[in-house]
Amino acid sequence: MRFYTKQQKFYCGIDLHANKMYLCIFDETGEVRLHRNIITDREVFLKAIHPYREDIVVAVECMFTWYWIADLYVQEGIPFVLDHALYIQLDG
Domains annotated for the chain, with CATH where assigned, are 10-83 (3.30.420.40)
Determine if residue 77 is left, alpha or beta; phi over 0 gives left, psi from -120 to 50 gives alpha, anything else beta. left
> pLDDT value at position 86?
52
Residue whose C-alpha is closest to residue 68's, from 56, 80, 57: 80
pTM: 0.74
Per-residue pLDDT reduced to its tens digit, 43-92? 999 999 999 999 998 888 766 666 677 777 778 887 776 665 555 555 44
